[in-house]
């Protein structure tokens, strides 16, 4: 089985960036402190992700040609949405009172920030739509799209929760962020049985090569399941724990969530064999 390192990095970093930017806007004060820094980092991470996606192309200099088919191609819409998100995020970042020296732009900046957040979610949905359309059997289903959105929410929520627990524990949106993380974990756990069924049957590999799926997916899926359960337990701990325990749980939750999605994305790219054109 062959993994696609650049695509794993692209999709995870993009989804982390979008989720972090969106949820920082919901949970943290964007007044030049930790909240604004992490929101800026989310957009910057998405820009790096878009650059990493070029490594997968045979001729990166022709990447702009993909935009020509945006009306019919999910891949073209993915690139278009990502570019629009980065433009809106850049406008939001530049409109900071720190740079403009004028608070009169704050209402317009707030609107641009929410437009960027919506465009970011559209980008993640477009990424999911690409793989829903081009993958075989068990991965070619609506849950593939839902899983990408859930990953963005999980990675963003755990990052924002860690920042809030460490730097602004009184942030009013912290509990909402933790509930969103719990919901994302529940969605990803709910998708595991159908993934097991597809991989056990070996349907994707049989369609492509006539052979059964090698058993290497078993430890990867088992590890991801265990990590998701650990992440769920840590989220619950943060919801019911006291402030001193929240910070340590938040850091552990962030590390476990990243490891969880790395295993999940490796498994996805190792087994989701593209259809023949």
Please tell me the predicted confidence (pLDDT) of residue 119. 95
Neighbouring residues of 193: CB distance < 8 A, sequence distance ≥ 6: none
Express as a percent the part of the chain with pLDDT over 70. Answer: 77
Give me 238's structure tokens.
């943060």
- What is the chain's length? 277
Please tell me the predicted confidence (pLDDT) of residue 16. 96
Please tell me the predicted confidence (pLDDT) of residue 59. 58
Please tell me the predicted confidence (pLDDT) of residue 215. 63
Task: Check whether 230 has a pLDDT greater than 70.
Answer: yes
The three-class DSSP label of residue 274 is: strand
Q: Helix 174-190 vs helix 192-201: angle between axes, to the nearest 10 degrees?
A: 30
* pLDDT band at 1; cut points 50, 70, 90: very low
Reported as a single tens digit per residue, the pLDDT across 116-159 is 999 999 999 988 887 776 565 556 677 888 889 999 999 999 99
Reported as a single tens digit per residue, the pLDDT across 149-168 is 999 999 999 999 888 888 87
Please tell me the predicted confidence (pLDDT) of residue 114. 94
* pLDDT band at 263; cut points 50, 70, 90: confident
Backbone angles phi, psi at 228, to 5 degrees: -65, -40
Give me 143's structure tokens.
């849950």
Contact of 199 with 221, CB cutoff 8 Å: yes
Give the Cβ contact number of residue 140 at 10 Å. 17
Q: Which domains does the chain have, with CATH numbers?
A: 5-271 (1.20.1630.10)
Whole-angstrom distance, CA of residue 210 vs CA of residue 208: 6
Whole-angstrom distance, CA of residue 188 vs CA of residue 185: 5
């Amino acid at each position: 089985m062959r993994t696609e390192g650049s695509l794993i990095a692209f999709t995870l970093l993009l989804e982390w960036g979008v989720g972090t930017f969106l949820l920082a806007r919901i949970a943290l004060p964007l007044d030049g402190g930790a909240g604004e820094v992490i929101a800026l980092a989310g957009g910057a991470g998405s820009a790096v992700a878009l650059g990493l996606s070029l490594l997968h192309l045979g001729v990166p200099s022709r990447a702009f040609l993909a935009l020509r088919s945006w009306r019919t191609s999910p891949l073209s819409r993915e690139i278009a949405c990502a570019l629009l998100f980065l433009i809106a995020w850049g406008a939001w970042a530049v409109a900071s009172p720190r740079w403009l020296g004028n608070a009169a732009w704050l209402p317009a900046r707030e609107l641009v920030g929410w437009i960027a957040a919506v465009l970011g979610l559209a980008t993640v949905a477009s990424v999911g739509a690409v793989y829903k359309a081009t993958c075989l059997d068990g991965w070619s289903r609506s849950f593939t799209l839902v899983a990408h959105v859930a990953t963005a929410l999980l990675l963003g929520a755990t990052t924002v929760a860690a920042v809030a627990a460490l730097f602004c524990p009184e942030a009013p949106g912290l509990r909402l962020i933790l509930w969103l993380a719990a919901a994302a974990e529940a969605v990803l756990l709910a998708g595991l049985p159908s993934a097991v069924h597809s991989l056990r049957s070996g349907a994707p590999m049989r369609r492509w090569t006539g052979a059964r799926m090698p058993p290497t997916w078993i430890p990867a899926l088992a590890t991801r399941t265990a990590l998701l359960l650990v992440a769920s337990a840590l989220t619950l701990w943060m919801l019911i724990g006291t402030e001193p325990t929240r910070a340590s749980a938040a850091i552990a939750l962030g590390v476990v969530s990243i490891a969880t999605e790395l295993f999940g994305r490796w498994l996805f790219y190792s087994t989701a064999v593209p259809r023949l054109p």
